[in-house]
Amino acid sequence: MINFRFHLVSLVSVFLALAIGLATGASIVNQGLVRAQKSQLSRLETRLRERGNQVGVERATAKRWERYAAQGEMRLVQGRLRATTVVIVRPAGGPDAPVRALATTLEAAGASLIGELTIETAAALDTESTLRLAHDSLPTASSRPATVRFMLRSRIRDALLDPDRVEPLTALARSGFVTFRGRPGGAVSSAPRLPTGARLVMVTSEDSEVDPDLVSGLLKAFVATGPARIVLAETSGEPEALRLVRRSPIFDRKISTVDNVDELEGRVALVLALEDLTLQLVGDYGVDSSAKRLMPGAA
């Protein structure tokens, strides 16, 4: 006779069989997934090992080229600036290491490096006291700020490019407008009377403490003297000031620029650019999008 107990046992049996079936099926599916995942992990590990080996080879190649460049840099520039007098001009601020490396390269090229002239922040003449100091030390009757600034920039230009016309740089140093060092980053020393015909390398940086308008004003004063005698170089960061110079028609065919002088190829390009000034050849070199070439071509 079928009673409630019979129904209960039947239902329990059905659900138990269903549970066993589900568990068995899930186990089979899970084993398939595990095998697939293991296979995928194995392939990924193989790829990672291959990529690691490739990175190791690339690092070794990069280090070899770095050694090659470091050992070959001086040979590449050797003798190219023999009998060329060079003065490094830089706005106050910015890293010293790239400028010291540049000085070493210039001397390896045979240049006679006179020293480093730093344009101090006071030369911007953006305060009443500095304007008054400049006015009292310059041959101008006008007290207009624009006129005094123009006269100071002209005085710095003449002290560098035509020292027979004015007092040595010492007078500007006494007023705190410039600082002279016999070696980049070295001790402050007395500024010598520079020989006529010296080449200028103005080194700027995004960390400069000097107003870009002062740098632009000095460059305008420099290029107004005649033949190209200056190379503008950027040591680090975004070369915004250098890009402005490259875009300005005022400096067209009057100045060479190098935007990566903190790197070996930039230092070599700068040496070649200085050498080309002898033939009045100028250009925009480096890796920035505003550059025309990586370095000067054959003259």
Q: What is the pLDDT of residues 241-254, one digit of tens each?
A: 788 889 999 998 89
Over the stretch 69-120, which tens digit does the pLDDT of each residue have?
666 677 788 899 998 999 999 999 888 899 999 999 999 999 999 999 999 9
CA distance 174 to 38: 77
* C-alpha distances out from residue 30 to 17, 36, 38, 141, Å: 20, 10, 12, 95
The whole-angstrom separation of Cα 130 and Cα 137 is 11
pLDDT higher at 54 or 116: 116
Between 228 and 179, the higher pLDDT residue: 179
Q: What SS3 state is found at 87?
A: strand
pLDDT for res 159 = 82
What pLDDT shows up at residue 65? 65
Dihedrals phi, psi of 213, to nearest 5 degrees: -65, -35
What mean pLDDT is predicted for residues 199-221? 87
* pLDDT confidence of residue 183: 82
pLDDT band for position 285 (cuts 50, 70, 90): very high
d(CA 99, CA 115): 11
For the beta sheet containing 284-285, the strands, ordered from the edge strand earlier in sequence to the opposite edge, are: 178-181, 112-119, 85-91, 199-204, 230-234, 256-258, 284-285
- Averaged pLDDT for residues 247-270: 91
Helices (H), 93-167: 97-108, 128-137, 145-161
How many other CB atoms are there within 10 angstroms of residue 209's CB atom?
13
Q: State residue 194's pLDDT score.
A: 75
Q: Are residues 216 and 244 in contact, defined by beta-carbon separation less than 8 angstroms?
A: yes
Q: What is the pLDDT of residues 135-192, one digit of tens each?
A: 888 877 788 999 999 889 888 888 887 766 656 678 888 889 999 998 887 888 887 7
Q: What is the pTM of this model?
A: 0.75
Amino acid (1-letter code) at residue 94: G
| The pLDDT of residue 111 | 94
